[in-house]
Chains A and B, each alone.
Chain A
């Protein structure tokens, strides 16, 4: 299994401008639960880093992108048959969970691990 593109969060010098060629990549993004309007019941963590994927998908989907066969065919269809069929989109490939500590309405306290809450890498599909 080859690693997917942008599997590592880029460093600070890179993060504001994005990759030079605007290629599909993972972007770090942080939000507070206050901004989401959930801080009245979530105790921890204070900040949530969901990240996001952005960028164009290349004409030739190389192996490292972890694209499924369908995406490769859709690219070919877009290029050779019908341009109204869109190119594959840049979307999250792998996710990791987040642990949350919250207070329920009745005063009980809940620790819970939510799956697929943080994007870790991106793919074109």
Chain B
């Protein structure tokens, strides 16, 4: 009982340890209810987990994840925009957390529904980066060489957007939001479809995956050796001089 009640309190007593800092940053307080995440995002991450670790949490030796941390980011709640021409569109806004020094972004992908089934209607969809129009801006389209979607299932597709995120967004300071546009097309226009489309939520149609590698662990392991070696090499004059000064 004591452990359950005070584990977070105990952690706050040693806030300088890296693990404790991370746990305090990432662990929501006990008073927060576990956010409800259901459907495809949760299924996707559970599948990724079972591919990468066994039942006891031991990382699998043959894991192909290529990263030590993967964050699934859901879009901010947003409703579908009114019909424009043959296209049904939704703007998807993904809030990105500030960069963590110890983690390097290695890959960014967007997973989206390429087939959307509304009652009696089937839509073909794709996602493309959305940036404000200006003469200098180039809009990469989904047919471009850098953005090739790959089919995951009958309804979901994954598309690599690493280059776009790194070039346009990653090193920006302040609040960063990745804007994507989710576009669907249907052959016959229908007023019923328009009503259904306007009821769809952005939370159900796409999510972002950010893959990171932990550079902190490697640095920490390398430190004692390099520091010791450095001090040994410099033990003659520079250190002595500094002490005298």
Chain A interface (Cβ < 8 Å from any Cβ of B): 34-38, 40-41, 43-45, 47-49, 96-115, 118
How many residues on chain B are close to A (CB under 8 Å)?
Answer: 41
Q: Which residues of A contact B73 (CB under 8 A)?
A: 108
Contacts A37-B4, A96-B58, A97-B59: A102 and B26 contacting too (C-beta < 8 A)? yes
User: Of A110, A113, A114, which contacts B19 at CB under 8 A?
Assistant: A114
Q: List 8 A-B contacts (CB under 8 A).
A: A44-B57, A99-B52, A109-B72, A110-B26, A110-B71, A111-B45, A111-B70, A112-B69
Contact between A99 and B59 (Cβ–Cβ < 8 Å)?
A: yes
> CA of A115 to CA of B57 in the docked complex: distance in angstroms?
12
Q: Are A99 and B7 in contact (CB under 8 A)?
A: no
Question: Nearest Cβ distance between residue B224 and chain A, in whole angstroms?
Answer: 13
Residues of B within 8 A of A49 (CB): 56
Tell me which of B35, B42, B55 has the highest count of chain A C-beta atoms within 10 A of its own C-beta. B35
Query: Is there a chain A Cβ closer than 8 Å to B114's Cβ?
Result: no
A105/B49 in contact, CB under 8 A: no
Contact B3 A37 (CB under 8 A): yes
Q: Which residue of A lies closest to B42 (CB)?
A: A109
A47 touches B56 (CB 8 A): yes
> What is the CA–CA distance of A107 and B46 in the complex, to the nearest angstrom?
15
Smallest beta-carbon distance A4→chain B, Å: 19
Do A103 and B35 touch across chains, with their CB atoms under 8 A apart?
yes
Interface of A is mostly: strand
B88 touches A (CB below 8 Å): no
Q: Judging by beta carbons under 8 Å apart, are B59 and A103 in contact?
A: no
CB-CB contacts below 8 Å: B62-102 with A: 65, 68-74, 95
| B199 CB–A CB distance under 8 Å | no
Chain B residues with Cβ below 8 Å from A38 are 7, 27
For A107, what are the chain B residues with a Cβ–Cβ distance below 8 Å? 35-37, 74
Knowing A111-B69, A113-B69, the reply to whether A44 touches B49 (Cβ < 8 A) is yes
Does B133 sit within 8 A of A, measured CB to CB? no
Q: Are A108 and B72 in contact (CB under 8 A)?
A: yes
Task: Quote the shortest CB–CB distance from A109 to chain B (angstroms).
Answer: 4
Whether B74 and A36, one on each chain, are in contact in the complex, defined by CB atoms closer than 8 angstroms, is no
Instruction: Report the separation of the CA atoms of residues A114 and B18 in the bound assembly, to the nearest whole angstrom.
Output: 11
Name, among A43, A99, A114, the residue most crowded by chain B CB atoms within 10 Å (CB to CB).
Answer: A99
Complex Cα distance A35/B7, Å? Answer: 9
Q: Is the CB of B28 within 8 A of A100?
A: no
Bound CA–CA A113/B49 (angstroms): 10
Q: How far is the CB of A7 from chain B (nearest CB, A)?
A: 16
Query: Chain A's nearest CB lies how many Å from the CB of B44?
Result: 8
Q: Which residue of A34, A43, A48, A109 has the most chain B CB atoms within 10 A of its CB atom?
A: A109
Q: CA of A37 to CA of B41 in the docked complex: distance in angstroms?
A: 25
Q: Interface code B1-23, partner A: CB below 8 Å = 1, 0 otherwise?
A: 00111111000000000010000
How far apart are the CA atoms of A99 and B56 in the complex, in Å?
9
Residues of chain B contacted by A112 (CB below 8 angstroms) = 68-70
B53 at the A interface (CB under 8 A): yes
Extra A-B contacts (12), CB below 8 Å, given A40-B34, A110-B70, A112-B70: A37-B4, A38-B7, A40-B28, A41-B27, A99-B49, A99-B52, A99-B58, A102-B26, A105-B35, A107-B35, A111-B70, A113-B59
Q: Using Cβ atoms and an 8 Å threshold, which residues of chain A touch B95?
A: 106
The answer to whether B48 touches A48, judged by C-beta atoms less than 8 angstroms apart, is: no
Whether the Cβ atoms of B57 and A98 lie closer than 8 Å is: yes
Please give, as numbers and ranges, the residues of chain B lying within 8 Å of A113 by CB-CB distance.
59, 68-69, 214
